[in-house]
A and B are shown apart, each in its own frame.
Chain A
Amino acid sequence: MSEVPSAAVERRDLTSSGSTGVEVTVRAQDLSRNYGDKRAVRDVDLELRRGEVLGLLGPNGAGKTTTMQMLTGNLAPTTGSIDICGVDLLERPTDAKARIGYLPETPPLYRELKVDEFLQLAARLHRVPKARIAVAVADAKRKCGLSDAGGRMIATLSKGYQQRVGIAQAIIHEPDVVILDEPTIGLDPNQIREIRDLIRDLGGKHSVILSTHILPEVEAICDRVQIMYQGSIVYNDSIEALRRSRKAQTLLLGLRRAPSLESIKAVPGVSGVELGNDGLLRVLHAQDQEPTDALVKAAVEKSWGLYHLTREHASLEDVFVQLTQGKDRPVISASTQEAA
């Protein structure tokens, strides 16, 4: 039972289902899904451990939603297998579904019901024992910041609150697996921060899969990331590794009195300079020697009028280009552990 020392990371409730080590809550293998002739998802492998937050990242139309629909039993995969906490989703769908909480892209809310009524319904449908329903509803409301909204009709709630109700119904039965499809879309920055905090909290006890097309979101809340592109997983690694792989090798430099490009190139560490179309100079450098200090020094000495110096952040598209360029097989798997 307890071969693994509990001191490693503080994890609660690990012993609940009697497995050793860190329990795998979702294991999907070779998932594919065709829409007619079009293959929306191909050969996706996915594994999630308890306590982990997995980000499913990809541009719109990459197959994230289709994958999540398959994981929640809303869509039958064309091929492949899905295992939720040891229960085969395709063979015993109701038992497997009892362990999942799902928030689809559009929160599935009955506008005619009050928040409390809706959450009670969600609790009953998800087999929460009758005696515990009131507690479960109160708990979910508290976690999602809905404590004062229980008596309100869902139709009258703002988009942000509706999203919270959507999350509340997904976690009301304390599922082993929480699957959230673009949970922060359409929210204002404050709401986004609250929802992200909430998802981080969920991570400890449950395990979470979350999809998004926003790169910083994944960096903010996920432990591990899988990037989907045109239906396939093109990247599967820890968030640290992703951060390194997208580390910019370009600085954006703004000078009021810009000298010739050659004199900037003469600064130690600079390997190339281009004039960007936004008036900033794009300064290229080798991966491990950032010429920031040298540039600032040179700018001050020669009074170039420095007003802007930032690292250029790779956009999601850049990451895809980096990941897919010049590779025969698109899959890049974990291989950068040693640099940690």
Chain B
Amino acid sequence: MIRTIASKELRILFSSPLAWVVLAFLQIVSAWIFLARLQAYLEVQTQMSADPNMPGATESIITPVFGTAAIFMMMVVPLLSMRLIAEERRNQTLVFLISAPVSILQIVLGKLLAIVTFLAIPVGLIALMGVALLTGGMIDFGLLAANTLGLLLMCATFAAIGLYLSCVTAQPIVAAVGTYALLLLLWLINIATSDPNSVMHLLSIVRHFESFAKGVLSPMDAAYYLVLILLFTGLSVRRLEGDRVRA
């Protein structure tokens, strides 16, 4: 049932130009950055080829590409997630799902799965850019995998937050703006403090990406994303269940 809902969601997503524009946008910008980093690396390489401590190609090209991709994802995910529930509510199609013999949890998970599957496409394509470096030499697959996993987890977190805000309103735009606000807050929360042990670092969504960017698979950081995903999925279910009582 979750897969049925997800596939319906993807079908509708791909029937709008938005999905294609988003994919094209992400692809063009990350390719641009990839090429720029590659060029910079090649220039430095000729000067520093004697230095044994020179950073590897993966580290100096792929890591920055993933870092900027994370920012683009923050810009793009709210646009994709805003319609998930809000538009169904506005078009009065939510009744179709609620009347069907599926649970609210299945509906919510199906929708989340759809967005994550969609975002896996650009993430996968960015990872493929890294693999393309194989034509010029060896790459650090571990680092590439950690970056890919980190970005995917981050995307899923963005999507869960966007999904919840889409549950709160019947206006997709309101959902998008709300998601931007919340994501920016989580992104920037730690700039308010100079204390390196502050709780704000614990909440920061970028901080937890750093270990993945370095190629470290830290269970704590993965747990942070998973907790946020679970939290906002749970809140979405609660919100939709509550609709039947409140209405």
Contact = CB atoms under 8 A, between A and B. Distances in A.
A152 to B, nearest CB: 14
B92 interface: yes
B198 interface: no
B92 A94 contact: no
B93 A97 contact: no
B99 A117 contact: no
Interface string A98-123: 10101010101111110001000110
Interface in B62-102: 91-102
A74 B99 contact: yes
B244 A74 contact: yes
Interface centre among A113, A125, A169 (most CB of B within 10 A): A125
Interface residues of A, number: 30
B47 interface: no
B101 A76 contact: no
B242 to A, nearest CB: 10
A167 to B, nearest CB: 13
B238 interface: no
A197 interface: no
A106 B96 CA distance: 11
B1 A113 contact: no
Interface in B90-121: 91-103
Contacts of A95: 101
A45 to B, nearest CB: 22
A117 B96 CA distance: 14
A108 B8 contact: no
A110 B13 CA distance: 12
A308 B8 CA distance: 59
B102 A94 contact: yes
A125 B91 CA distance: 19
A307 interface: no
Interface in A243-285: none
B87 to A, nearest CB: 10
A73 interface: yes
B247 A108 contact: no
B11 A117 contact: yes
A125 B97 contact: yes
Contact of A110 (B8, B103, B247): B8
A113 B11 contact: yes
A124 B16 CA distance: 23
Interface in A48-90: 69, 72-76
B222 to A, nearest CB: 32
Nearest to B104: A93
A329 interface: no
B158 to A, nearest CB: 24
A327 interface: no
B245 interface: yes
B101 A104 contact: no
Contacts of A108: 91-96
B39 interface: no
A102 B101 CA distance: 12
Interface in B219-247: 244-245, 247
A196 B192 CA distance: 66
Contact of B99 (A72, A106, A121, A127): A72
Contact of A125 (B11, B12, B16, B101): B101
A27 to B, nearest CB: 19
Contacts of B247: 35, 69, 75
A102 B99 CA distance: 7
A102 B96 CA distance: 8
A124 B4 contact: yes
A126 interface: yes
Contacts of B194: none
Given A75-B247, A113-B12, A125-B1, A94 B96 contact: no
Given A76-B245, A102-B99, 12 more contacts: A75-B244, A94-B101, A106-B92, A109-B93, A110-B12, A112-B12, A112-B16, A113-B8, A125-B100, A125-B102, A126-B100, A169-B96
A-B pairs with lowest CB-CB distance, top 10: A108-B96, A98-B101, A125-B100, A112-B15, A97-B101, A108-B93, A94-B101, A102-B99, A106-B92, A76-B244
19 contacts: A73-B244, A74-B95, A74-B98, A74-B244, A75-B244, A94-B101, A97-B100, A104-B99, A106-B92, A108-B92, A109-B96, A110-B96, A112-B15, A113-B11, A121-B8, A122-B96, A122-B100, A125-B97, A169-B96
